Each structure stands twice: as structure tokens, then as C-alpha cells.
Structure 1
Amino acid sequence: MNKIAQKMLHHKKGIVALFAVLAVLCALLSRRVKVDYNMMHYLPKDAPSTIALDVMEEEYSAKTANCRIMIEDAAIPEALALKKQLQQVPGVSEVMWLDDYANVYAPLETLDGDTVESWYKEGNVLFTCYVDEDDLYSHLMDIRAVVGEDAAMSGEAVNTGMATESTTRELKMVMAIALPLVFLILLLTTTSWFEPVLFMATIGVAIVLNMGTNLAFGTISFVTNAAGSVLQLAVSMDYSIFLLHSFSRFRASGMDVQDAMSHAVKDSFSSVTSSALTTVIGFAALILMRFRIGPDMGVVMAKAIVFSLLCVLVFLPCLAVLCYKLIDKTQHRSFIPTFRGFSYFVMKVKVPVLILFILLAVPSFVAKDRIDFAYGSSEIYGDASTQIGADAIRINEEFGRSNQIVCMVPRGDTAREKALSDAFKTIPEVTEVLSYTDTVGSSIPEEYVPKTQRELLISEHYTRMVISTSVGVDGEIPFAVATQLRETAQEYYPDAYLIAGEAVNTLDMRDTVTEDDIVVNGIAVGAIFLILLITFKSLSLPAILVFVIESAIWMNLAVPYLTGERLNYIAYLIINTVQLGATVDYAILFTNKYLENRRENSRWHAARITVRETVVSILTSGSILCIAGSMLGALSTNGVISQLGYLVGRGAVLSCCMVLFVLPTCLCLFDGLVQKTSLGLRFEKNY
């Protein structure tokens, strides 16, 4: 490794120039990477609702509504005029209103009251329409220009389209605030004003390389796009710190700059690569998810850590050697205390902390499985703090929740179609069924039916029923209704029906991601346990380390249960693997130092020394991860990204506390077991 480092440093100018060129190229390529904001696109290809959507897209040109628009205080002529304007908006089709179901030119008192109030209530008008998914944000802005700022808009298209603009803007805000704070932390924890510049440049290049190479996938998910750069910055910054600290140590021993750096690369290679490997495993476990946001994020983030590792071991050594004079000229005194008093404090409170840990760990394990989960995109902007959430609340309060589900059955048997339609209507939550047999009747030849109605309801092989329900798309009641609709269709058309719609898609998402939970977490824990087993050549140490970090994860996930927060399951799944992979490094660092100190000291004394020696590194890495996650949580209006950010930030704090306060006691209590179950590990002072 030393010879490789020497050869690499011999070509340092060329290597730095190469990385600079690649960074510029990848920065340009990153602009061509598309971002998908629709979670439903990541359902497995074999999910029933996915199959139904694929068939419906092939069979029908007319689309089902994905947007609701409410206009307040509008007369019927004004509503009809607005409808015509909406039909002219590019990307907008299938605009539906009361006039599609009743004669609005007749006195309203003569019409069916329930039908009228579904579309026109106390002077408020409700339109439904389909908005093309291509260039959604632009189409929504065109709609807003027609209906005015006071109108309320909601639905899947609005959630997806507005996320496109807001996520990009908010991510820039996150980085604009997080980067200076991270830079400040690095200034305080180093002894050179210039070293933080090298750290930021190295990870910055790694981030840009990762973003540019995402073009190979064509499209990435909005979760990966929003959280990827922030997480890469947070979890891989300490690799650079390890290397430059080692470089400083070898220089202090009297070596010249190039020799010191080559020895630093060799010295830090093992710790940096093992640290990166556990993080890669954590992200790579997501690849096994059937819900494809997992593989999307897993591949991109595993690649991100590889790029960070490559930049730290190749780019940073060359850059640091070229800039060592600036490092020397910008030296400053250390701002970090010795933490001697803190290490004594940790040892003093070890018993009450251990008792508190035991009291919290078991209830947290139980609580994490009792969280009220959300599975789809309907509640990403679910509260009134955003315009999307406020608009949805206004529409739901005035017209009630509405959720359209489409059922397709083989065409030809009109009597059975009518029977199925009538059966759907008996379900209490079904407010309306729009079908060919209901609206046209079986006695009228198809050629006499208006083309728009034919295209909406019948195709070459199927007839379609549009079922409106009074419930939302996510939760036990919507899932129960979707299940009942499937069971009813199965009764009349055994294994020959297809059902699609946001509620059905979300139900399939729930079934998919809950199946993923056991597999993904099991693989992540098992793989990291195996790496620790190989690293420490011990059966007990991996169990202790994984248990300590897993306990921090349980406590982190218990918070939403205790606060009554509805947690998106995607954030839950991702944090399980991310927190384990990103923060188990703290436990590895601490344990390595403890074993080193334990060879010459008693167990409690070794633990105290280790706390003092590792606290700066652990707090530096943990605080960066906490700041990055917390900024993502605080500034993102996207519910999934915001929740994931808060989980990451809180998880970093809990993992740091567990490693600094609980792990020392665990290592001391199981000192004898560790010796008996570890290969070649024996301590002289067994007390």
C-alpha cells in the first residue's frame, strides 16, 4: 500500500487535474438526470395495481381524474366558462363537473340533491380533471393562472407536481445553511484554518461525481435526489478527517511531506475502508426492497460512499501534499478541551445510565412496531403549514374526501356488468359508480353513444367502471374499502378483473414495504454483524456493538409513537438501515481504542481513557450528521423527506449518546466474555 501511495503522489498534479475535469463534467451531466416524484411508479411490476395501470394505459386513451379544483362563490354560468378554459389548458384533459351528470340549465331544485352537492355546494364549484404527468409543474401553473390564486387544488397530480419545484428549492436552502455549519464544526475540531477547505473540497468533488454518474440510471427518485447529497456529506466527512489527522501525526514524527502522506494513506486505509464498508452495507441492504425506491436509493448511496472513499484515498492525499504550505501557514491553537472531566463523569454515572438504558430499550422495541404509519403520497403535504395541505383541507371540508378507483372487466356481458355495478353501490363508502351500463344502458348500440363517453368507459377488450368513494387513499378505512371492492369484483369476475386507483396502489405499497421490512433489516444487521465478526475475530463484540446501535434506532423510532406522529413507512424503512450503517462506525472506533487501551490498563480505566480519546471524533461526525439531517427535516415541506431528515438528525444524537455512555459499561461488564469468545485476545489485568 505504501508503494502504491508513493506512485500516486508522484503524479499528484495530474490526479488533481483529472478529478477537477471529472467534477466539471459530472456537474454538467447531473443537470440531465431526471427526478421522479411519483411514489406509485416504484411499486413492483408484478403488483396487481401496477398490472392494472399498465393494461388501462394500453386500452384507454381517456384518463381518470388526478386533480380536484374548487372555486368559491361561482355561479353556474361562470363555472361552465371556467370548465371550457380548463379544457384548453395544455396537458389538462377529462375535465368533469355537474353538467356531465345532470342538466344544469334546469332548476337545481329539480335535480338529484346528492349529485348536485357532489359538484356544486353553497356556491362552491368542484372540478375534477386529469393533468398530464409530463411537465406537471408547468401545467399546474397554467391551471392556477386560469382559476386564480384563491382557488384550492389537491390530488395526486398536485402533490407530485408541486414537489418538483419545492424539493429543488428547499434542497438548495438545506445545503446553503448546512454547509457553513459543517465548516464551522470542522474549524473548531482541527488546528488549521485551511484543513476544512480540503475536507469540503474532497467531499464536494465526491458528491458531484456521484450526482453526474446518476445519469446512467436515467431517472432517480425524489427521496434519493433530496437526501442523497446531504447524507453523503454527513456520513463520509470523517473519512477525510481520519486521513489528515494521520498525516499530521506522521509529519510531527519528523517525516517529510510525501513520506508522511504515503504512510498516512497506508495507516488510515484499513479504518477508512472498514468504516465505509459498513455504511455501504447499510445502504446496499435497501437494494433488496421490492418497493423500488429502496433499490434506487441503495444503489445511488452505495455508489456515493465508494466515490467518497476514492476521493479521500486518492484525491485528498494529492491535494493535501500540493497545499501543505497553506496548512502550515494557517495553523491555530486547538479549541477542543481535553474532555478529561467528561470521561470521569461518564464513569461516575455508568450505573444510573445503564439502568435508564434497560428501562428505555425494551419499551422502545415494542413502541416502534406500534407507530401509526402512512404508506402513500397523499399525506406528504397533509397539514395546513403548506398551501397544498391547506387546499386539500379546504376541499375535504366542503365536499368531503373523494377517491376514485377504476375497475376493468372483460366486455360483453352487460347483465353481469350491471350486477357488479349495483353490488359496488351497496358498499356504504361508495358515493357513485360511473359505468357504461348505468349511464348509457345495454339497449343502445355503441355507435350511437358519444365518442367521449365510449373512450372513457369501453375499450377493445374491457369495460371500465369509475367508482367514487367518500374516504381518502391511505389508512385502515380506505384499505378496507379497496379490499372490499376487490372481493366484490372477484365474486362476479373471478381472476378476470383489474382494479387501479391511488387507494389500491397505496394498499399494494403497504403490503410490499411491510414485507420488505424483515428482509431488509435482517440482511443489514446480518451483513454488518459478519463484517464486525471478521474485523474483531470475536463472537461477542459484534453482538454488543449491533445491540447498542439497534437500541438507539429503537429509541429513535419510539419518538413518533410517543408523540402521536403519523410516520411515512418509507422513512421508517430507510432510517433502519441508514442509522445502523452510518453510526456503527462510532462503535467500531470506540471498541478498537478500548481494546488497544485495555492491553495495558484495567477495564474501567481503559474505558475512561477511551472516552477521552474518541469523544472528539465521535462528536464531530455525529454533529455533522445531526446538522445535515435536522436541516433537511426543518426546511423540507415534503413529508417523507422532512421525516427522514429528523430521524437522521435525532438518530445521530442517540447513537453518539449510546456509544459514549452505554457502550463503555457494556464492554467492561462483558470483558471476560469478550476475552473468551475472541480469537487471540487476552488482557494482562483482568479486573
Structure 2
Amino acid sequence: MRKLAEFIVDKRKFLLIIFIAAAIGSVIMSSHINVIQELTDYLPDDTETSIGLDVMDEQFTTFGTAKVMVQNVTYDQAKAIADQLKDIKGVSAVDFYEEDEDDENNDTEEKEFTNSEDMRDSYQDLAALYSISFETPEDDSLAQAAIADVRTALKDYDAWFYTTVDKDDAADLQDDMKVILVIAVIIIVGVLLFTSGTYMEIAIFMLVFGMAALLNMGTNFIFYNISFVTNAVATVLQLAMAIDYAIILFHRFMEEKGKVNTREALVRALEKGIPEISSSSLTTMAGMVALMFMQFGIGLDLGRVMIKAILLSMLSVFGFMPGLIMLWEKQIDRTLHKSFVPNIEFWGKIVLAIRHVTLPVFAVVMVVACFLSVNCNYVYDNSSVESAKMNEYMTAKREISKVFDLDNTLAVVVPKGDYDSEARIMEEVESLPMVDSTLGLANVTVDDDEQYVLTDSLTPQELADITDMDIDTIRLLYRFYAWKEEKYGAFLNSIDDFEIPLLSMIDFIYGEEENETFDFSADFSQDIQDMHKTVSDAREQLEGDEYSRMLVMTTGPIEGDEIFHTIDQIRDIAYQYYHEVYVVGDSTSDYDLSKSFTQDNLMVSIMTAVFVAIILLFTFTNYSIPLILVATIQTSIWINFSIPAVTGTGMFFLSYLIVSSIQMGATIDYAIVITSRYTAYRKENVDKRTAIIKTLNESFPTIITSGTIMTSAGFVIGQITSNPVIASLGTTLGTGTLTSIILVMLILPQLLYVFDGVINKTYRKRRINIGGGETQTNGGAE
């Protein structure tokens, strides 16, 4: 280790050049990273949602939609707005209630009844709700331009836009993270000013942190794809978790600097610091490794990036920081100042004095928190999570939901071709309590009486009735169709009995009109073109080359036992007619996430605790210390996740999985700091009371520095970002870290004091050589 330390110090200029070159390369490569915005992309490949989404992406076109609410308008104004929106280029339809002639002739009393009963889905309480469909998918430029025109048209109204057409989560999150990073840097500088021994160390720390963050961001290109969650929080978490490494090395250097010259002090600091920092990082990485075993791919995504972040942070501290220290040796000496960290020996005395009260309370809290955290109400949908700073999308959803019921759309994907089965499925599904309506080619009506649907086969007379065309012209078209399609049987019997699928007939007439085979009137020609466009749009969305899609609109919650049971019912109905069925939508992805969470939750919790316990066992060569430390931090995790159960709020499932691993892996370091100092004092035969008081006093600067930064970073993320997923992660992390600090500074010292005798008797025995022979020792305080 000394040879390695000497090499680093002597080759520091060369290493500085390598790091600077690597940083430049990282800046260049960071633009080649693809950020995935959808959590559903990380579901296991064999889930119904993943397979169904792949089928839908391949087979169907999904046009952009928007729900727009305009408040403080009369019905006549709302109707005029609907007509105005329909004329916007790129808008294919605006769904809004319109009174028919009978409604308009009703007297006032009847009209009020009509308004309260029939119009409530579109207009009530001086608020109008428009369901807008666009002519192209939401990422198409025409749809983007159309929603911009809609916004312009409604700029003078109190309007709320609930749409993903022009919703740019990536840009919003990037803007938020810029602010968060600035605030995080201010917090870090403030904390370091308080705990530092020389002002120059702050500049060195920030440069080292910046180097590590740049290297981590740039090297993400090796994965090509990373999630928006990882992209957003990795840098802040890296700064918060890896700050200890730089502090440990620099404080080692300052201790040695008072004894020897600068070079030798740095060599000694590296010689002692590299093993210490490397072992300290293992518990943090253990939590990240546990995440990588999740079925839900976001765990692998975040885990591997954070492990890389920790390794690169250590490399920056070991390879980049020594060069900066030697470069600015004089500035370090000139900016020395008295530490502002107070002496807190009084705290150790208080901790010992109240142990008879706090330890029984801790035991009760441990049991209660464990029970409550198990019964926490977990949520799986992004829109179910509210953040302190609400974006337009979430705010619009909340405001619209106060007046109108927002529907939830599910897609049922089945093999193409059997329209009768599709019709029967939709009929049965519509009878389910949560289902409001269904839509498919087999139930799209084409006449005012709703007698025929697009998939019906019609005789000439039936087609004439719904199109108002001359019956002789229709017969001629039928004969021509039969001849071209070689349906010669139609000529053996009366053509009036010949039935042709309406979809096929519309395609045929449109094709012949395009080929100018017939000389249709201008009005009829326009009707055919309009009808064919409507059918084409419907087919693009509802019929692919191999599969058909039916849409199911439900009311009520988007997730939970009720909608999950409805999904099972829909699937069971469809399986009565098909051997291959995919039910896809936000609710089904939530359903799949809830299933994978149950397994991931148990696995991540057990693996994290086991990994950390094993590392602690080898660190302390003691069997009881790992149990005490893990119990302390695990209780802080249970307390953190019992808060939602007490307050009645939902906990986003991803926050639990990620934060529980980070909280165990990272904050266990605080417990290690205290335990290491305490056991060292006990081996020096310092009495346990004095050992506790000295340990808390000496550990306070390290814990308060790292803990304050991680806690602040979490709360800043939670308060600043408008992305509900990231905000939930931040708030949960901040609360968890703060809880861990309190338990480590209060309960852990009391446990070490009370179980001092047990600890002394449970050191792992090892063999040592004495005078060429072998003997046994337990390695304990004696």
C-alpha cells in the first residue's frame, strides 16, 4: 500500500492530466446517452404489459389526445369554444355535449334537468370539459402545432390542460436538477465551512466532487440507456454518499502534516486512507448490489450506475485529490482557521443518563414501526404521487378531477379477424361495474339509429338507407364489387340479397373514386372521402396486420384492488373467445409493478441486510456488533416507512425499494464511525462511560457533515422538482437519513453501552503466532 501511495504522489502531475482528459471525454460522451422516460420500459420482458406494449407499438397508431377544462363560461360560450377548437388544423375531433333539437325546444324546467343529468360529463358548475383528439400521434409536429394553437385559442380563459402531447418531462426535470445542484452545492459549501479546518479544502473537495460526477455521467454511455430516475438523482446521491471519502483522506493528511513534510504526510494519508475508505464504501455498494437483483429493471439501472459512481468517487479521491493538495500546499496553510464544530461531550452524558427511558421506548417503536411499515399503503402510478411543486400536468389533473370524473383507458389486444367475438367481448365488458364504455371496430355505429356498426355486412338497401344514396347506384356498385372481387355467386341470385362488409365497401368505393372509375357528385365524393378518413383513422388505432385493439374506459381509481379485479375480469372474458389476450394500460402496468414489488421488496430488504451484516462481521470480527448496527439502521428504515401509514398517505413503491437500500448501505457508515471509535477506546481499557462520551464528541463532525449533506440533498430534491417520482425519492431519502442520524447519535451509543459485555465475549477467535508456536485469542478488549 505504501508503494501505491508513493506512486500516486510522485506521478501526481501525470495523473492530473489523465483525469482532466477523462473529464473532457466524459463531457463529449454524455451527449450519447439515451434517457428512458417510461418506467414501464423496465418491467420484466415476460410481463403482460411489456408484451402488450410491444405489440401495440408494432401494430397500431395511437393519436394524441388532450383533456381541456375551461372555467367560468356559460354553456353557449362553451359550445362556441368547441366549434372554434374543431376548426384548428391538426384537431380531428372535439368531444363536447351538444343539445339536439328536442333539447333546444324544452322549457326551462326540463332544460335544467337535462343539464344536470346529460351534460354533467361535459359541462357543469360553469366549467366545460373538452376531449380533444388529434390527427397524428402526440410526438408528430402536426399534433405539437395543434396543441399550441389550442393553447393560443384559450389564452384568455381560465383553462387547464391535461395532456402529454406537449408535456416534456425530460426538459422540466433537467431544469429542476440544475436548480437542485446549485442549492446542493451551496449546502455542501455551507456545511464544509462549518466543519473544515482550512478554507482551501472546500475548493479542493468541490473540484474532486465535480470530477467524480463528470466521470460518472460521461461513462454512462457504456450502458447506452439509463432511466430518467437514475439520470436525475445519481449526481446528487453521488455527492452526498461519497463526500466522506474526501473528508477522511484530507483529515488524515492534516493529522500527518503536523509531524512530517507535505509529501510524506500525503503518502501516509493515502497508505492509511485507501484501505479505510475502500472498506467503508463496501456497505454503500452492498445496498446498490441488492438493488441490481430486482425483477424491476430500474434497480439494475440505478444500482450499476451508483456502484460506478462510488468507484469513480474513490478513484478521484485517490488519484486526483493528491495532485490538488500538493499543487495548493501553500494556500492550504494560509487559509487555516479554527474549527467551528462545538464540543458536545454534554450530549454523551445526556445519552447515558436517559438510556433507561429511551431503550424501552426504542424497543416498542421498533415493533410498532415494523408492523406499520409492512402495512404501508404503496402506490404504483406516477399520477398517484403528489409533489410539493406540482407541474402543469398534475395540477390540471387535480383541478379537473374536482369537477369532472376523468376516465381511465385500458386496451384489450386480441388476434385480428373475428369481429363477432370482439362485439360479444365489449358487450360483456360494458356490464362490469367500473366500466363506463368500450370502443372497437365492432361497436362503432354508422347511422343515427345506432342500428349498424362498421363491421356489419349490409345489403344494398341497408347501405342506401344509411348513406341516402340512390338504390340503383348502390346496386351498380354492388355488382361492380362482386365482379372485381370474383364473387360470382352474387349474380346467380338477386343482388339485393348480396351482403358486403361495410368496411370493405367503403374501401372499395373510395378506391374507385380515386381511380375515377365513377363520376360521383361533389357532395357524395366528399362524403366518401370523409367516411374513408374516419374509417382509416379508426383502423390505424384499432386494427393492425395481425391484432385488433378494443378500448375500455373505466371510472374510479387508476390503481388498487378494485381496478385490479376489473382487469382480471376483463382478461377472463376475453380468454373465453381467444387463446391470446393482452390487457394494457396504466392500470395494468401498475398491476404488474405491484406483483414484482412484492417479490423485490422482500428480496432487496433481506439481501441488503445480509450483505451489510457480512461486511460488518469481517470489519469488526465480532458476531454481535453487526446485529446491533443492522438493528439500529433497520429500525430507522421502518420508522421512515411507517410515516405514510400513520399519515394515511401513499408511499411510491420505487421510493421504498431505492431509499431502503441507500439508507441501509450509506447511513450504516455513521454507525461504523461510532462503533469503531468506541471499540478502539475499549481495547485501550478506557471505561465504557468515558468511551461513549469521547466517541460521540469525536464522531460528531464526520456524522454531521455527511448526514447534513445527504439529508439536505434529499429534502431539496423533494421540494424543488415537479417530477413526482423524483420528489418522492428525495423526500423519503431526506427523512430516512435524518432518522438514521438521530438513532445513531442516540440509541446506538446506549446499545453499545448496555451490551458492552456481550460485545466483549463475541469477538471471532483467531490464531496468532507467539514465539514460533500457535495459540488462541478472541481478539476482544482484553
Normalised by the size of structure 1, how large is the TM-score? 0.91
Aligned to 1:310: 315
Query: Could you tell me how far apart the structure 1 residues matched to 2:223 and 2:363 are?
Result: 45
Please identify, of 161-170 and 219-228, the stretch whose mean Cα deviation from structure 2 is larger.
161-170
Q: Do the aligned partners of residues 107 and 464 (structure 1) sit closer, same or farther apart at CA in structure 2, a change above 3 Å counting?
A: farther
Q: CA deviation at 1:176?
A: 1.6
Q: Do the aligned partners of residues 588 and 470 (structure 1) sit closer, same or farther apart at CA in structure 2, a change above 3 Å counting?
A: same
> Is the counterpart of residue 334 in structure 1 residue 342 in structure 2?
no
1:448 to 476, 501, 505: 505
> Is the counterpart of residue 194 in structure 1 residue 200 in structure 2?
yes
Query: Could you tell me how far apart the structure 2 residues matched to 1:334 and 1:323 are?
Result: 20
Q: CA deviation at 1:443?
A: 1.9
Match of 2:541, as an amino acid? L
Match of 1:228, as an amino acid? A
Corresponding residue pairs, total = 672
Aligned to 1:405: 410
Aligned to 1:616: 701
* Deviation sequence 1:438-470 (CA, Å, 0-9, x none): 112432513234322233322232222111111
Q: Do the aligned partners of residues 492 and 597 (structure 1) sit closer, same or farther apart at CA in structure 2, a change above 3 Å counting?
A: same
Q: Do the aligned partners of residues 171 and 466 (structure 1) sit closer, same or farther apart at CA in structure 2, a change above 3 Å counting?
A: same
> Is the counterpart of residue 286 in structure 1 residue 291 in structure 2?
yes
Q: CA deviation at 1:139?
A: 6.7
Q: Would the aligned equivalents of 2:388 and 2:719 in 1 still touch at CA under 8 Å?
A: no
Match of 1:563, as an amino acid? T
* Deviation sequence 1:373-397 (CA, Å, 0-9, x none): 2102222457895433331123233
> Is the counterpart of residue 351 in structure 1 residue 351 in structure 2?
no
State the percentage of identical aligned residues. 29
Please identify, of 229-238 and 537-546, the stretch whose mean Cα deviation from structure 2 is larger.
537-546
Please identify, of 529-538 and 546-555, the stretch whose mean Cα deviation from structure 2 is larger.
529-538
Match of 2:567, as an amino acid? A
SS in 1 for 2:45: coil
Q: Would the aligned equivalents of 2:205 and 2:246 in 1 still touch at CA under 8 Å?
A: yes
Please identify, of 666-675 and 265-274, the stretch whose mean Cα deviation from structure 2 is larger.
666-675
Please identify, of 548-557 and 447-456, the stretch whose mean Cα deviation from structure 2 is larger.
447-456
Q: Would the aligned equivalents of 2:383 and 2:394 in 1 still touch at CA under 8 Å?
A: no
Q: Do the aligned partners of residues 529 and 382 (structure 1) sit closer, same or farther apart at CA in structure 2, a change above 3 Å counting?
A: closer
Please identify, of 241-250 and 627-636, the stretch whose mean Cα deviation from structure 2 is larger.
627-636
Aligned to 2:746: 661
2:595 to 501, 511, 524: 511
Q: Do the aligned partners of residues 391 and 604 (structure 1) sit closer, same or farther apart at CA in structure 2, a change above 3 Å counting?
A: same
> Is the counterpart of residue 79 in structure 1 residue 87 in structure 2?
no
Aligned to 1:558: 642
Aligned to 2:760: 675
SS in 2 for 1:538: coil
Match of 1:649, as an amino acid? G
Please identify, of 134-143 and 304-313, the stretch whose mean Cα deviation from structure 2 is larger.
134-143
Q: What residue ranges of structure 1 are gaps of 5+ in the alignment?
A: 89-94
* Deviation sequence 1:363-414 (CA, Å, 0-9, x none): 1111112222210222245789543333112323333121111112223333
> Is the counterpart of residue 217 in structure 1 residue 223 in structure 2?
yes
Q: CA deviation at 1:571?
A: 0.7
Aligned pairs for 1:169-568 (under 5 A) are 169-253=175-259, 255-381=260-386, 385-439=390-444, 440-444=454-458, 445=501, 446-449=503-506, 450-493=535-578, 495-568=579-652
- Higher-Rg member (1/2): 2
Query: Could you tell me how far apart the structure 1 residues matched to 2:708 and 2:249 are?
Result: 19
Q: Would the aligned equivalents of 1:39 and 1:376 in 2 still touch at CA under 8 Å?
A: no
Q: CA deviation at 1:22?
A: 1.8
Please identify, of 667-676 and 577-586, the stretch whose mean Cα deviation from structure 2 is larger.
667-676
Q: Would the aligned equivalents of 1:627 and 1:649 in 2 still touch at CA under 8 Å?
A: yes
Q: CA deviation at 1:584?
A: 0.5
Please identify, of 423-432 and 338-347, the stretch whose mean Cα deviation from structure 2 is larger.
338-347
Q: Would the aligned equivalents of 2:388 and 2:718 in 1 still touch at CA under 8 Å?
A: no
Q: Do the aligned partners of residues 341 and 326 (structure 1) sit closer, same or farther apart at CA in structure 2, a change above 3 Å counting?
A: same
1:606 to 681, 691, 706: 691
Q: CA deviation at 1:143?
A: 5.7
Aligned to 1:154: 162
Aligned to 1:127: 131
Q: Do the aligned partners of residues 297 and 141 (structure 1) sit closer, same or farther apart at CA in structure 2, a change above 3 Å counting?
A: farther
Query: Could you tell me how far apart the structure 1 residues matched to 2:672 and 2:141 are?
Result: 47
* Deviation sequence 1:217-252 (CA, Å, 0-9, x none): 233222112211111111110110100111111111
SS in 2 for 1:85: coil
SS in 2 for 1:492: coil
Query: Could you tell me how far apart the structure 2 residues matched to 1:137 and 1:164 are?
Result: 19
Q: Would the aligned equivalents of 1:288 and 1:520 in 2 still touch at CA under 8 Å?
A: yes
Q: Do the aligned partners of residues 146 and 50 (structure 1) sit closer, same or farther apart at CA in structure 2, a change above 3 Å counting?
A: farther
* Deviation sequence 1:271-318 (CA, Å, 0-9, x none): 211111111121222111122222111111111111101111111112
Query: Could you tell me how far apart the structure 2 residues matched to 1:305 and 1:470 are?
Result: 46
Match of 1:199, as an amino acid? F
Aligned to 2:489: none
* Deviation sequence 1:572-592 (CA, Å, 0-9, x none): 111110100110011112111
Match of 1:48, as an amino acid? E
Q: Would the aligned equivalents of 2:121 and 2:129 in 1 still touch at CA under 8 Å?
A: no
Q: CA deviation at 1:321?
A: 1.5
Aligned to 2:95: 98
Q: Would the aligned equivalents of 2:67 and 2:130 in 1 still touch at CA under 8 Å?
A: yes
Match of 1:573, as an amino acid? L
Aligned to 2:19: 19
Aligned to 1:91: none
SS in 1 for 2:384: coil
Q: CA deviation at 1:609?
A: 2.1
Query: Could you tell me how far apart the structure 1 residues matched to 2:598 and 2:253 are?
Result: 47
Q: CA deviation at 1:119?
A: 5.0
Query: Could you tell me how far apart the structure 2 residues matched to 1:220 and 1:448 are?
Result: 49
Match of 2:327, as an amino acid? L
Query: Could you tell me how far apart the structure 1 residues matched to 2:423 and 2:279 are?
Result: 65
SS in 1 for 2:614: helix
Query: Could you tell me how far apart the structure 1 residues matched to 2:131 and 2:277 are?
Result: 58
Please identify, of 674-683 and 576-585, the stretch whose mean Cα deviation from structure 2 is larger.
674-683
Query: Could you tell me how far apart the structure 1 residues matched to 2:140 and 2:277 are?
Result: 43
Please identify, of 30-39 and 214-223, the stretch whose mean Cα deviation from structure 2 is larger.
30-39
Q: Would the aligned equivalents of 1:98 and 1:120 in 2 still touch at CA under 8 Å?
A: no
Query: Could you tell me how far apart the structure 2 residues matched to 1:389 and 1:31 are?
Result: 29
Query: Could you tell me how far apart the structure 2 residues matched to 1:26 and 1:383 are?
Result: 33
> Is the counterpart of residue 581 in structure 1 residue 665 in structure 2?
yes
Match of 2:505, as an amino acid? Y
> Is the counterpart of residue 69 in structure 1 residue 68 in structure 2?
yes
Query: Could you tell me how far apart the structure 1 residues matched to 2:238 and 2:210 are?
Result: 9
Q: Would the aligned equivalents of 1:119 and 1:125 in 2 still touch at CA under 8 Å?
A: yes
Q: Would the aligned equivalents of 1:86 and 1:146 in 2 still touch at CA under 8 Å?
A: no
Q: CA deviation at 1:138?
A: 6.6
